[in-house]
Amino acid sequence: MSELAWWQRGVIYQIYPRSFQDSDGDGIGDLAGITTRLRYLVELGVDAVWLSPIYPSPMADFGYDVADYCNIDPMFGTLADFKQFADRAHELGLKVLLDFVPNHSSDRHPWFEESRSSRENPKRDWYLWRDPAPDGGPPNNWLSRMGGSAWEWDAPTRQYYYHAFLREQPDLNWRNPRVRRAMDDVLRFWLDRGVDGFRVDVLWLLIKDARFRDNPPNLAYKAGEPAHHRLLQTHTEDQPEVHDIVRSMRATLDEYGKRVLIGEIYLPVPQLMKYYGANGDGADMPFNFQLLNARWNAGDIANMIRDYNSALPEHAWPNWVLGNHDNPRVASRAGPVQARVAAVLLLTLRGTPTLYYGDEIGMTDGDIPPDQVQDPAELRQPGIGQGRDPERTPMQWNTSSAGSGFTTGKPWLPIAANTSVHDQEDDASSMLSLYRRLLSLRHSNAALVQGTIENVAAFGDVLTYERRCRNLRLFIALNMGAKEATVQAHRGVVLLSTLAGRDGDALVEGVNRLAAGEAFIAAI
């Protein structure tokens, strides 16, 4: 497997820093806390740690409103703490990935403060400013993804500025070469400090229509959806010029050796494929989010796997994501039994998997009382299910203390006490043990890392496929239903099953039993 890049061989683990480990008792996770938990990640079996934003920020959107791209928010520590974290991670063999948030800054970033100071300021064109419409209203009909108009009136300079998200998050003007150079300097700042790659926030939104034309109405809009879905995002996302930016980022990372560029991109598969670029000059991995919103149905997922792999350009490397900080947790979406099946699915599909912290112990969405809601997405559009607090609750390390081993203070969000790492680590049948076994098997079996994926099929509630690499041949079967099923297989041996006691069982040629909610990996 040595011919593959580290990010092709490895498994990425996403940490939401506010919620992983608090070291100082303020109820908010920090870098020093994360550093103390790195050994746990090594024992789990992951290869890279991706941190959601840790930059200085007013926290209007919990760090996605960046006030300084080249520093650490005191909430999380200092640059010295970051160095200690990165050095320790590298010492343990873990790669370090950072979130890069280039679409917008905080309105308190010095760049924007200069930009809004006057129309003549040299940084005025670093952001998107427009005159009012003839009636004095916003320049066009573009809508914020956080509700309401995407245009905010600035009375002193008598123009509107554009914000795809909160008004505290003005969008940068990526058509300005000075902005591009400044952001390139940001990448270099962190690359010089040993960062192994970046996950680029909302990569597909970076460029907007140069003529600022209205977005057309979405005739398929349904009541209860987010307000911005009323319009098709024709002129505010996935513009052709964005690919030049991706190539530029790729070129900068290439100067530093084997660094990985990952793009957050919520687009249909045909459009997603364009972000790989031509012959490897785009993103290494445009995130494949299909499993986040998929119906938990064997036929649907079989079609998804086939279509995605068929669409990949020849030079492209696939990837799969089961959970993240913006979507309900898999154990809440599919239930605790099927969350185990989902773990087998994620870690046996072809491509690089990304795990979300806590999914390895089956954490579910937290219960957030109305008076403890933190997320601006929910506060601005209550009642439509956009709040992301439930999937961001603190890591559950133990159930024997009020702070669940996460903090000695009051946690920033309520912590569920239904399970924990401590409860599961010595239980051979636990979710944590399943993940450890899966990750160990993945790292030791070339078919699961570099093998082809073949014979993807669905038979009722059962999804099956094979992974092949030279003389290695694995058969994966997943019962995504609530009833016992049968599966046709070749003679072989079960290497791993979610059903206790089945590891090592023989498969017979022909019909084999598959318990309700069981998944197995077999050598055939």
Give the catalytic positions in this structure. 201, 255
Query: What distance in Å separates the CA atoms of residue 197 and residue 241, rounded to the nearest whole number?
Result: 23
Q: How far, in Å, are 74, 119, 197, 201 from residue 156 at the CA level?
A: 32, 10, 40, 31
Query: What distance in Å separates the CA atoms of residue 121 and residue 221, rounded to the nearest whole number?
Result: 41
Query: What distance in Å separates the CA atoms of residue 14 and residue 355, rounded to the nearest whole number?
Result: 6
Query: What distance in Å separates the CA atoms of residue 285 and residue 272, rounded to the nearest whole number?
Result: 10
Query: What distance in Å separates the CA atoms of residue 390 and residue 86, rounded to the nearest whole number?
Result: 29
Query: What distance in Å separates the CA atoms of residue 321 and residue 459, rounded to the nearest whole number?
Result: 24
CA dihedral sign of residues 412, 414, 416, 422: positive
Q: What is the DSSP letter of 231?
A: B
Query: What distance in Å separates the CA atoms of residue 518 and residue 512, rounded to the nearest whole number?
Result: 12
With beta carbons less than 8 A apart as the criterion, state whether 93 and 42 touch: yes
Q: Hey, is 489 helix, strand or coil?
A: strand
Query: What distance in Å separates the CA atoms of residue 304 and residue 465, rounded to the nearest whole number?
Result: 13
Query: What distance in Å separates the CA atoms of residue 94 and residue 138, rounded to the nearest whole number?
Result: 48
Residue 486, beta-bridge partner list? 513
Closest residue by Cα to residue 340 from 466, 441, 429 = 429
User: What interhelical angle do 177-191 and 242-254 show, nearest 10?
Assistant: 30
Whole-angstrom Cα Rg for the chain: 23
CA dihedral sign of residues 116, 120, 122, 125: positive
What is the secondary structure of 68-104 as a DSSP string?
Answer: -TTS--TTT--HHHHHHHHHHHHHTT-EEEEEE--SB
What is the secondary structure of 233-298 as a DSSP string?
Answer: -TTTS--TTHHHHHHHHHHHHHTTSS-EEEE-----HHHHHGGG-STT-S-SEE---HHHH--S-H
Query: What distance in Å separates the CA atoms of residue 134 and residue 122, rounded to the nearest whole number?
Result: 27
Residue found under tokens 């912290």: 357
Q: What is the DSSP letter of 172?
A: B
Query: What distance in Å separates the CA atoms of residue 317 and residue 497, rounded to the nearest whole number?
Result: 27
